[in-house]
Structure 1
Amino acid sequence: MPSRLPLVPPNRRDFLQTAAATTAGLALGATSLLAADEAPKQETPESLVKVLYDTLSDKQKKDITFDWDHETVFQGKLRTHVENNWHIVDQTIAGNYYTKDQQHLIRQIFVGMVNPEWVEKFDQQLKDDAGGFGKQQNIAIFGKPGEGKFELVITGRHMTMRCDGNSAEHVAFGGPIFYGHAAKAFNEKSDHPGNVFWHQAQAANKVYEILDGKQQQVALVKKSPVEQENSFQGPEAKFTGIKVGDLSDDQKEAVQGVLKLLIEPYRQSDQDEVVACLNKYGGLDACHLSFYEDSDMGNDKVWDNWRLEGPSFVWYFRGKPHVHCWVNVADSHKVPFNAA
């Protein structure tokens, strides 16, 4: 079996031009945000950000739009900031701040940013964590769509997502993202019932199971890293865990299966960007896989916290006490990370 995922074109603009459209068509005046998903597929999320921007009132532009490199005292560069639970602005998507047409547009942008097969799962996460789409989510727009660089950022509990308009250089997803889920309770049981992301950890643990005894000793690390520490370490770093390049072909194939599940929730162009960024530093072969001994809910030897990391790639899955996932992917280790 090949040791790396196949190369894909590195040009981010080509990704957006060749990826299949995943967003529903624009239909202003929809009575339901959810019903919008059923509209004919026509527009890209990027084009809809421009449409949304053009509908904003002067007050809305003052409240939710910012210069590309806007900074705050506590969060640094606001556009690239990421947390597990934060609100980039005060105004929520649902409610009276946005018109129904604007709410519909925002919903369409969100739907277009994810794999169509994952819309329902994200909706379940949002229902469990925040009462439903838009109830506790916010958006902000950086730059001016149609006139240079721009990016729309969605924030809220267990969610930071970006629609970057092909503007943010060197990074996948438009910058660092976050996803999570507390399906039943803040402190979930060891099998995480109802958690829409737990299957990713189960697949990673299957990799651990097919490692031999010595490999497991290398892969198992005593203590989990600080949750928010997801900066790139570069090609000369000494990573914890086991190097994917040292695995057998069947073990490498299992790790590729894990990566496929990790990127599956997102639109094809973002998936392609992740693979292209990975290939800049040797693909999965250059990554290390770590499982953390201090995070074993239920003492069942199913490791709730684990991390796949390379020179400019971090996917940190934390299942204790519920799922938190920190994602930072770029084609250069020199890209800074901006977290709480």
Structure 2
Amino acid sequence: MNPDPCPDCSADSPKLSTRRSFLRTSGLAAGALGTGSILPCRAEASAKPASETLVKTFYDSLSEEQRSKICFGFDHKLRLDVDNNWHITKTLVKDYSKDQQAMIKEIFMGLHSEEYAQRVYDQVTSDSGKAGFEGGSSVAIFGEPGSGKFEFVLTGRHCTRRCDGDSVEGAAFGGPLFYGHAAGGFNEGPKHEGNAYWYQAVRANEVYQMLDGKQREIALLDKSRGEDGLETVALTGKKEGLDGIRVADLTHDQKDHVRKVLADLLAPFRKRDADEALKQVEAGGIDNLHLAFYKGENIGKDEVWDVWQIEGPNMISYFRGKPHVHAWLHIREPGVG
């Protein structure tokens, strides 16, 4: 499964041409990452090749044997699966050539904002243990990049990421995502030291602290939905009657802070995807979102709620912070899918 590139090093080799193309684009990316500081607005370097471009380059580099194991029709049922710890195919990143491994990493990095890309990569590497990113991740391609609809999916422990070039109609990020982190061990303490995503829960708990007594009674429930693969992020289409307090019933200041929670949820991802996702949430109505916290799943009995969620008719963000962070995210355009 690990093709030797040496037989393909002749000047006329198509694989060598592909390799040269990748080295040119990745060189530009490396140069962009090596200059300047991280900007607060998460601006992306203009010279950095899009992940979609690299997916096409990676696809073109695959041997027929590799394609038979990781390439599927666009409508294959596996494409939209999501879970907290899984391999979408049996071929791991380490099984590819070094050039192909580099492409996969660049695709992954390019799906995240400049501010968070390295932090997210380090999280996936850490959670993969001794296997690291290369030994703990697998990829699949659905459809054919460059000729119609396609989607690249990377999975592993605490990771499901997608790159679809807007092929999946109405779906932010190309479909449901999963991210998480077990920082320093399986059972984290109440402060979740070193966790890459705990800042999101801190922001959400700031909203809880802004609620008055009656609002807290509505927002604070006992047990959450739990986790069940794709069912975890099933969208109901409901504008009322969801878990927790409806944003329409919050004050202006409280609503503004909910928007900050949304911004933090989207912060790890590249700007184009984050902007699209927020636009879709707004189309479903910020007032139709519901914010819930779960007292029955609290670490340390400190009333800083480890498990919480935001749900609306076309969005679910379920953050399960016990015993460590699992976060599920699914956003779609209203009325699509």
> What's the TM-score bracket when you normalise by the shorter of the two chains?
0.7 to 0.9
Alpha-carbon distance, 1:324 to partner: 0.2
Q: Does 1:234 align with 2:240?
A: no
Alpha-carbon distance, 1:26 to partner: 3.9
SS of residue paired to 1:27: helix
Q: Does 1:252 align with 2:255?
A: yes
Distance 1:203 1:29 in 2: 37
| Contact residue 223 and residue 296 of structure 2 kept, 8 A | yes
| Contact residue 306 and residue 321 of structure 2 kept, 8 A | yes
Alpha-carbon distance, 1:214 to partner: 0.7
Post-superposition Cα deviations, 1:262-283, rounded to whole Å, max 9, x if no partner, equal 000000111111112112222x
Return closer, same or farther for 1:309/1:265 CA change in 2, 3 Å cut-off: same
1:57 to 43, 48, 63: 63
Return closer, same or farther for 1:333/1:322 CA change in 2, 3 Å cut-off: farther
Q: Does 1:118 align with 2:121?
A: no
Match of 1:5 in 2: none
Match of 2:49 in 1: 43
Distance 2:146 2:25 in 1: 24
In structure 1, list runs of 5 or more residues that go unmatched.
1-24, 71-76, 336-340
Match of 1:27 in 2: 23
Post-superposition Cα deviations, 1:185-243, rounded to whole Å, max 9, x if no partner, equal 11111111110100100110011001111111110012111223321111355112111
| Contact residue 319 and residue 328 of structure 2 kept, 8 A | yes
Alpha-carbon distance, 1:55 to partner: 0.7
Match of 1:338 in 2: none
* AA aligned opposite 2:315: F
Distance 1:130 1:265 in 2: 19
* AA aligned opposite 2:256: E
2:330 to 328, 331, 334: 328
| Contact residue 37 and residue 108 of structure 1 kept, 8 A | no
* AA aligned opposite 1:43: P
Distance 1:190 1:123 in 2: 24
Alpha-carbon distance, 1:133 to partner: 2.3
| Contact residue 141 and residue 150 of structure 1 kept, 8 A | yes
Alpha-carbon distance, 1:119 to partner: 1.6
SS of residue paired to 1:173: helix
| Contact residue 170 and residue 336 of structure 2 kept, 8 A | no
TM score, norm. by length of structure 2: 0.85
Alpha-carbon distance, 1:165 to partner: 1.7
SS of residue paired to 2:172: coil
1:316 to 306, 315, 318: 318
* AA aligned opposite 1:121: R
Alpha-carbon distance, 1:146 to partner: 1.1
Distance 1:274 1:298 in 2: 34
Bigger-Rg structure (1/2):
2
Match of 1:129 in 2: 127
Alignment of 1:72-83 (within 5 A): 77-83=77-83
1:262 to 257, 261, 265: 265
Post-superposition Cα deviations, 1:149-175, rounded to whole Å, max 9, x if no partner, equal 000000000000000121001110100
| Contact residue 232 and residue 334 of structure 1 kept, 8 A | no
* AA aligned opposite 1:277: Q
Distance 1:57 1:230 in 2: 35
Instruction: Give the 4+ runs in structure 1 shifted more than 6 A.
Output: 28-31, 33-36
Match of 2:8 in 1: none
Distance 1:85 1:333 in 2: 30
SS of residue paired to 2:330: strand
| Contact residue 25 and residue 48 of structure 2 kept, 8 A | no
Return closer, same or farther for 1:34/1:78 CA change in 2, 3 Å cut-off: farther
What's the Cα RMSD here? Answer: 2.2
* AA aligned opposite 2:242: F
In structure 2, list runs of 5 or more residues that go unmatched.
1-20, 36-44
SS of residue paired to 1:303: coil
SS of residue paired to 2:316: strand
Match of 1:303 in 2: 305
Question: Aligned residues: percent identity?
Answer: 46
Distance 1:88 1:280 in 2: 32
Match of 1:16 in 2: none
SS of residue paired to 1:133: helix
SS of residue paired to 2:187: coil
Alignment of 1:85-96 (within 5 A): 85-94=85-94
Distance 1:48 1:38 in 2: 19
Distance 1:63 1:38 in 2: 35
Q: How many residues align?
A: 301
Match of 2:176 in 1: 176
* AA aligned opposite 1:251: Q
Distance 2:30 2:157 in 1: 20
Distance 2:26 2:334 in 1: 42
Distance 1:263 1:241 in 2: 21
SS of residue paired to 1:160: strand
1:274 to 254, 263, 277: 277
